Structure 1
Amino acid sequence: MEESITNNDMAALQTKTLQSGIVMAYRSKPIDHKRPTLVLFHSFLMDSRLYEPQFEDPVYGEYNLIAIDEHGHGGSRGRSDFTFWDTASDGLELLTMLEVDRFFVLGTSQGGFIALRMALLAPERVTGLILVGTNADSETPQNVSIFRDGRDKWCETRVPTREALLGKSVSFGGPEVVGEARYAEICERWISRHAGPQGYDPALNCLCERDSLLERLPEITASTLVLHGTNDKVYSVDLARSWSARLGNLSQFVVVDGGYHYLSFVPPGLESCRKHIPDFIDSLQT
């Protein structure tokens, strides 16, 4: 079963119902199976629209882009309690329904958690991994405390306060970086999808309670590109260097001077991704 939801900004939001009855939402233009496919997983409290810049950029026009709404975000429905393994597994089923056998997978922040798990679940299907502003370990107690404090501020009112919204925007530099109009759109989506404990807690619990993959990183044999910004306030460059060194096939580690946590979304990370991602994909085409 498939449904198309009108959207004028980028590829339309579509849904497919899995055998389990779970509804997975995604954005994609018509798929050309002769072209490489790049699957995109977004960051916390965002959705597939995080990759609007890539859908609009002709540099990515040679690839099929498929941006998936993760459980607890966007238009995906059907799981009230979930892990990143669930999103990876359901994403694989969605790609099978779309008749996409092999693909590259890119994840920003928690999207990287899903990309790594997808590579472990189906190594024969993942041609290459692109990990952006992410982490392979479980969350530290310090970060869990910070995240839960942020949750309390977010949920202390029926609609998140201006201060709470601004606190979340640090990951992409706030309205000063994205502009007031785009920031207002993001805030509207945050309020409509994530206001209150019912909209916030399932996604936060998934984030805070995830398992570590450090011991399994050598199993990942897909060629991997890692990009990380020096202005990432959540995970440091040193941390990213540490876990990425354990990957089974690290192709390149790119440090982006001044890059934010949501590296692929805004400058200067946007430009760095624009250069390194197509080069990486093209280098693996035979």
Structure 2
Amino acid sequence: MKIDVHGAPIYAYTGGKPFDAAKPTVVFIHGVLNDHSVWILQTRYLAHHGWNVLAIDLPGHGKSGGRPPETVEEAADFVIALLTAAQLGQAALVGHSFGSLIALEAAARAPALVSHLVLVGTAYPMKVSPALLESSVKAPEKAIAMVNTFSHSTLCPPPSALGPGTWLYGSSRALMRRVLASNADTNVFYTGFKACDSYANGEQAMAAVHCPTLFLVGRHDQMTPPKSARALATHARLAKIVEVNAGHALMTEAPDEVLFALRDFLAA
């Protein structure tokens, strides 16, 4: 479905079910050079088990119009505006990587609107190496290859994710190329990485969050190491940490573990 936010059409995948604002709602926020599709298993399950699901493409990414957010704070304000545009009194926010920082900042800015917060593959600070920032502009194919090397701990996912024999490195690279090409005016690779690198409000935002927070971390995550998430969790009021056997691409490397952790946390 499309939701008008500040005059821009924003795409949201609903898990194959009609949107119903009266249901409890989960909003999924992707990371850099990703889109709604990275949540495919988790969103479809929740949508068919009593939840309203909105897995968005961020502005200027994939199927969404608008200008890509240049900072985490700008992206958080967009998420708050999205909740208002969808006429949601409250929703759970689930974010991965860059999306986790966006969800965190949104929950801190509008605590009354957020019932649960899930930070998947998160870290604070989320610094990006100067070499990777430079490559995202001058040699994006090289940067995409680098990110995929460090994001995955296995070649193929379990059948419950993308199907038997799926090549995670190849499918992820194809997705990243597609999202990069979806915006001819802005390099969303560099913009997203720069926003992560520049974000300086993580600890203060975490302390301002009122709702329960789940930290979903990958045991083999080289992009956002588990120790970084655990350090951020010390600033949370109501924190739960679940570690799964995966790298940074938790949702496809350990789809069932991620789903069950989400299901149990949202039901509590």
| Whole-angstrom distance in 2 between the partners of 1:153 and 1:232 | 26
Q: Which residue pairs with 1:151 in the alignment?
A: 136
Report the Cα distance in structure 2 between the residues aligned to 1:176 and 1:83, rounded to whole angstroms.
32
- Is the alpha carbon distance of 1:235 and 1:23 closer, same or farther for their aligned partners in structure 2, counting shifts above 3 Å? same
CA shift digits 1:115-165 (9 cap, x unpaired): 111111210111111111112x3433xx3324314425634xxxx3xx544
> What pairs with 1:177-188 in structure 2 (closer than 5 Å)?
177=156, 179-180=166-167, 182-183=171-172, 185-186=174-175, 188=177
Which stretches in structure 2 are left out of the alignment for 5+ residues? 158-165
Match for residue 7 of structure 2? 21
Measure how far apart 1:34 and its partner are: 4.3
What fraction of aligned residue pairs are identical, expressed as a percent? 23
Aligned counterparts, 1:71-86, within 5 A: 71-79=59-67, 82-86=70-74
Task: Name the residue aligned to 1:243.
Answer: 232
Aligned to 1:176: 155
Confirm whether residue 273 of structure 1 aligns to residue 252 of structure 2: no
Q: Distance in 1 between matches of 2:139 and 2:154?
A: 18
Q: What residue ranges of structure 1 are gaps of 5+ in the alignment?
A: 1-13
Q: CA deviation at 1:184?
A: 6.6
Structure of higher CA gyration radius: 1
> Which amino acid counterpart does residue 152 of structure 2 have in structure 1?
G
Distance 1:110 1:199, change over 3 A: closer
Query: What TM-score comes out, normalization by structure 2 length?
Result: 0.83
In 2, are the aligned partners of 1:107 and 1:113 still within 8 Å (CA)? yes
Corresponding residue for 2:213? 224
Deviation of 1:202 (Å): 2.5
Assess if the C-alpha contact under 8 Å between 1:153 and 1:164 holds in 2: no
TM-score, with length taken from structure 1: 0.78
Distance 1:169 1:115, change over 3 A: same
Aligned mates of 1:248, 1:65 — CA distance in 2: 26
CA contact (8 A) 1:84 1:210 kept: yes
Whether the 8 Å contact between 2:33 and 2:176 is mirrored in structure 1 is no
Deviation at 1:236, TM superposition (A): 1.2
Residue from 65, 75, 88 that aligns with 1:87: 75
Matches within 5 A, 1:105-254: 105-135=93-123, 137-140=124-127, 143-152=128-137, 154-155=139-140, 160=141, 163-170=142-149, 172-173=151-152, 176-177=155-156, 179-180=166-167, 182-183=171-172, 185-186=174-175, 188-190=177-179, 192-193=181-182, 198-250=187-239, 252-254=240-242
Distance 1:104 1:199 in 2: 26
Q: Which moved more, 1:166-175 or 1:61-70?
A: 166-175
Residues 174 and 183, structure 1, Cα contact 8 Å, conserved in 2: no
1:49 matches 2:37: yes
